[in-house]
A and B are shown apart, each in its own frame.
Chain A
Amino acid sequence: MSTHPHHDAPGSGRRPSPSTLVPEDVPDAAVLARLHRRLERRAAAEDLLDVAVTTVDSPVGPLLLAATPRGLVRVAYAREDHDRVLQELADRLGARVLTAPEVLSPAAAQLREYFAGERTAFDLPLDRSLSHGFRRLVQERLPGIGYGRTTSYGELARALGRPGASRAVGTACATNPLPVVVPCHRVLRSDGGPGGYVGGLEAKAALLALEAA
């Protein structure tokens, strides 16, 4: 008789099952990948997804991309912890979150072009429902800073008619749910210092160097 603790608590979600029936290493990974693709397509076709997600590699590390039927809703750096971001998307936008690369292929393609230096502006439908109020106002203004240009938090606050709000502008940039695509990396401190960046200062410097090249 085994004496291990029994973890059958309701809500624990899964019970261990005696898998003596399953031979070692049944290679079903390929089948499961195919089944997942089929599920993605049907879910998208039947409009069942709250959020489609995928991960793309980039010079600033793996980026998580997420879209609702309205558009790209989130770009997340690895340091934001992709698992945590997925949970946050489920909490805020709905739990029907599924990996569905095809849905995000236009966004992935434009990001690839941007990192290759072949694209200076993004042309994607954006879903800005993760931002509200003044932050959203600031974020909507960011694409107006041209490729290869920079501005300062104070400058941006003045442009928005809130000259005293440079700290709030900083917060708006720090909480931008769509980094890279919505270019908060182009906003610096007025003394030329880098300020902060959701992807880390190294990533901010890398993007600015890419655009300056």
Chain B
Amino acid sequence: METKEPFETVVARHGPVVWRVCRAVLPGPADAEDAWSETFLAALRAWPQLPASANVQAWLVTIAHRKALDVVRARSRAALPVDPLPERPAPAAAEPEDAAALWAAVAALPDKQRRVLAYRHLGGLSYREVAGILGGTPEAARRAAADGLATLRRTLAGTWTERPAPRGTQEETRT
């Protein structure tokens, strides 16, 4: 019988990454929380059936992508005229300024760039996998990521210094 990790381990290990991905793709924190919740609920449901060889993080990021789209769709269907109370990022109060600035800058990017950056740089998907869920070619995804990063660097110049990639990360060169 093949052993499957307890789902709690999956939440502990991948919860933060999925949170950042949701946060980057959905500018409103409440939306991001909804997407995270729907992602892990769906993953919990399907966990016993997931093949042991699957890449769990990539699987979760792919689910998060679908759930984020659902949240956006539900919002537009609800078609509320104008929110009387603009949404305040609830937890943002505790965030350092540079983090808040980063999320704001990410939120200002065009959809496609934002998603490619989220899935590739936060979620760890390859450009091939990113293209698989967003359509287009891996090459186009790579270009969108480069454009998005360039914009972020311009926007955040001076307020935020980029960290070197942590040890053990690999920048893809060719796909």
Chain A residues in 8 Å Cβ range of B9: 86
Contact of A38 with B by CB under 8 A: yes
Contact of A169 with B by CB under 8 A: no
* Pairs of residues from A and B, 5 with the lowest C-beta to C-beta distance, nearest first: A17-B124, A97-B6, A95-B4, A90-B6, A18-B165
Tell me whether A15 and B57 are in contact (CB under 8 A): yes
What is the predominant secondary structure among interface residues of chain B facing chain A? helix
Within 8 A of A (CB), among B83-115: 91, 94-96, 98-99, 102, 106
Within 8 A of B (CB), among A63-104: 86-87, 89-91, 94-99
Residue count of chain A within 8 Å CB distance of chain B: 50
Q: Which of B13-21, B63-71, B74-82, B131-139 has 4 or more CB atoms under 8 Å from chain A? A: B13-21
Chain B residues in 8 Å Cβ range of A30: 91, 94
Residues of B within 8 A of A (CB): 1, 3-9, 11, 13-17, 19-20, 24, 29, 33, 36-37, 40-41, 44-45, 47-48, 52-58, 91, 94-96, 98-99, 102, 106, 117, 120-124, 152, 160, 162-171
Tell me whether A19 and B6 are in contact (CB under 8 A): no
Report if A48-B41 is in contact (Cβ < 8 Å); known contacts: A18-B121, A95-B4: yes
Tell me whether B11 and A98 are in contact (CB under 8 A): yes
Tell me whether B19 and A31 are in contact (CB under 8 A): yes
Residues of A within 8 A of B (CB): 2, 4, 6-8, 10-28, 30-32, 34-36, 38-39, 42-43, 46, 48-49, 51, 53, 86-87, 89-91, 94-99
Per the bound structure, the CA–CA distance linking A36 and B165 in Å amounts to 29
Per the bound structure, the CA–CA distance linking A20 and B40 in Å amounts to 25
**Closest Cβ neighbor of A21 among chain B residues:** B121
Chain B residues in 8 Å Cβ range of A13: 55-57
Tell me whether A23 and B99 are in contact (CB under 8 A): yes
Chain B residues in 8 Å Cβ range of A22: 20, 122
Q: Can you sample 26 A-B contacts with CB below 8 Å?
A: A7-B168, A10-B53, A10-B55, A11-B53, A12-B55, A13-B55, A16-B170, A17-B122, A21-B117, A21-B152, A24-B96, A25-B96, A27-B91, A27-B95, A31-B29, A31-B33, A32-B16, A35-B19, A35-B37, A39-B37, A42-B41, A49-B44, A90-B4, A90-B6, A91-B4, A96-B47
